[in-house]
Amino acid sequence: MKKDRTQMISLLKRFLMTLAATTVSIILTFGTTAIIDRKKQKEAKREMVMMVLYDMHESLEAAEQCGESLKDFFDTQLDVVAHPQKMDDIYAPLAASIPAYDYTTTTENIFKSNIETIQTIGNIFFVETVSSFYDHRSHYKYDVVDAFQTKAYDAAVRYESLRSLDSPAFLFISESYLRLMRGDYEQCMQMMRVSEKDLEAFTVRQQKYREATRGDESERTIESALEQNRRRNALQQAREAGDKELE
């Protein structure tokens, strides 16, 4: 009887030890998986945030350059309007000062079309502020740059148009939008605790990616130019053949 009881206790101990080992193994497995998943989520969030901030930074710099071009145009305009005899020699400086605002919407489209954006980033205010920045960027292009271009090219060749062009109004609108864009950008940097140094490191990495693909683009450009020459030769041969048949 005593022997049977001892065996039962021994079996129970072994069962409990096996159960404990299995439980610990399960906890470690799922715990490790959870840690890995959380790490991946943090990395995905960081990558998305840096990608958006980089796009905002590049867009803001380009817009600020447009603002400087508007100021240069205005300064030249003042000089020529006050001295009409300079009009014939001023086309190049005026034309060079007409701003052009070009940017890619790839990051914006990914940001706005990805339904997991809010879940990944986890900050609705950040998402709203980024959307506000992109709206201001679009308005800056159409309300400032494009609208100014439609009038400035004519003003660069006609004194009457240059004299009547209200450049100060465009400068005012430009500076207003730039303040809004700059405010959105700085808010996003603070919200996500990204320093200028962090963004600079990310920018360097992006530039390396671009440089790595430029070689391929150069090769494709050369191939395209060679193909163009081949097509032109083929077209010329076809013209000559057609001329012979028409004779």
Domain range summary for the chain, segments of one domain joined by +: 45-194, 195-239
Residue 22 has pLDDT above 70, yes or no: no
Residue 36 has pLDDT above 60, yes or no: no
pLDDT of residue 131: 92
Identify the CA nearest to 67 among candidates 35, 98, 33, 111: 98
Please write down the HEC assignment for all residues of 171-226. HHHHHHHHHHHHHHHHHHHHHCCCCHHHHHHHHHHHHHHHHHHHHHHHHHHHHHHH
Q: Which of 113-127, 151-165, 176-190 has the lowest mean pLDDT?
A: 113-127
The tokens of 127 are what?
């998402």
Identify the CA nearest to 96 among candidates 125, 65, 73: 73
Identify the CA nearest to 188 among candidates 19, 27, 43, 54: 54
Average pLDDT, the chain: 81
Q: Of the spans 32-41, 56-65, 218-227, 232-241, which averages the highest pLDDT?
A: 56-65
pLDDT of residue 144: 97
Residue 29 has pLDDT above 60, yes or no: no
pLDDT of residue 163: 94
> Helices 2-82 and 124-139 meet at what angle, rounded to 10?
20
Residues in the chain: 247
Residue 236 has pLDDT above 80, yes or no: no
Q: Locate tokens 């998943």: which residue?
A: 37
CA-based R_g, the chain, Å:
32
pLDDT of residue 34: 43
The tokens of 3 are what?
């022997």
Instruction: Give 233's contacts (C-beta < 8 A, 6+ positions apart).
Output: none
pLDDT of residue 23: 60
| 107-114 own/partner pairs: CB under 8 Å, 24+ apart | 107/51, 107/52, 107/54, 107/55, 108/55, 108/134, 111/48, 111/52
In whole angstroms, give the CA distance from residue 99 to residue 67. 8
HSE of 72, CA atoms in CB hemisphere, 13 A: 15
The tokens of 44 are what?
């995905």
Angle at the Cα of 127 from the Cα atoms of 121 and 132, rounded to 5 degrees = 160
Identify the residue with better confidence: 155 or 225: 155
- Give percent of the chain above pLDDT 90: 39
In whole angstroms, give the CA distance from residue 130 to residue 181. 9
- How far out from the chain centre does Cα 67 lie? 19
pLDDT of residue 212: 62
pLDDT confidence band for 31 (50 / 70 / 90): very low
Residue 43 has pLDDT above 80, yes or no: no
